[in-house]
Structure 1
Amino acid sequence: MSAYAIAHLQEAAPHREIAEYIARVTATFEPYGGRFLVHGASHEVKEGTWPGHVVVISFPSIDQARAWWDSDAYQAIAPLRSRHIEGDIILVPGVPEDYDATVTARTMLGALPD
């Protein structure tokens, strides 16, 4: 089942270390089957506020996503970003291809008191 690394990064002033991080990051996740789904694109806010930027990297599994995050290669370059850009980063598993939200809704409704 696919998994995703999702980052919500705040605006940051341009910096050489950020450019170096961007140049090197792909090589850290490719060995784990990772690929960019969203990077450097503008986004459209429909509800609430969402300042900054969104990055989404897809992985074949949550184990592959975790292995990338914990890898020596990624941890070696992570400070190039984190010293200059604040943000939130999560790893999240996707849903199976046959996922049906109506089943989840029925389960929720069945657990509610009458």
Structure 2
Amino acid sequence: MPKGYWIGQVEITDPEKFAAYSEANQIAYRKYGGRYLIRGGNADVVEGSFRSRLVVIEFEDYETALACYRSPEYQIAASLRKAGSTGDVVVVEGYAGVQPEGVSL
């Protein structure tokens, strides 16, 4: 079964409020098994546009990723994120199909 992911691009507008969000979101992530794959870090924009912070969070599956986002625990945290940043969040199902020959992960 394919994993589920959150992909977020964020521009922090109020570091204090965003810090409160970063603390509050842990409740939902722990409950739903969210695991950071990308959380900030170095990035080179090679095409298109980019906000200053990129986050990718992995979940057991797509349904769990959606349930976490829609949970009361995360919605409380989301109100803090929206107060301290602008951005986009996408919940997406991972790919479990055939990969190019010779590629193993």
Cα distance change on mapping 1:95 and 1:75 into 2, 3 Å:
same
Amino acid at match of 2:33: G
2:103 alignment counterpart: none
Return the structure number with greater strand share. Answer: 2
CA distance in 2, matches of 1:88, 1:36: 17
2:74 alignment counterpart: 74
Cα distance change on mapping 1:20 and 1:11 into 2, 3 Å:
closer
Q: Does residue 28 in structure 1 map to residue 28 in structure 2?
A: yes
* 8 Å Cα contact 1:9-1:85 kept in structure 2: yes
CA distance in 1, matches of 2:12, 2:75: 22
Q: TM-score, normalised by structure 2?
A: 0.84
The range that moved more, 41-50 or 87-96, is: 41-50
Amino acid at match of 2:3: S
Return the structure number with greater helix share. Answer: 1
Deviation at residue 101 of structure 1 after TM alignment: 5.6
Count, aligned residues = 99
Deviation at residue 48 of structure 1 after TM alignment: 2.4
Task: Report the structure number with the largest CA radius of gyration.
Answer: 1
1:94 alignment counterpart: 94
Amino acid at match of 1:89: V
> Residue 10 of structure 1: SS of its match in structure 2?
strand
Residue ranges of structure 2 left out of the alignment (5+ in a row): 101-105
* 8 Å Cα contact 1:42-1:53 kept in structure 2: no
1:59 alignment counterpart: 59
* 8 Å Cα contact 2:12-2:84 kept in structure 1: no
Which consecutive aligned stretches of 4+ in structure 1 deviate over 6 angstroms post-superposition? Answer: none
Residue ranges of structure 1 left out of the alignment (5+ in a row): 103-114
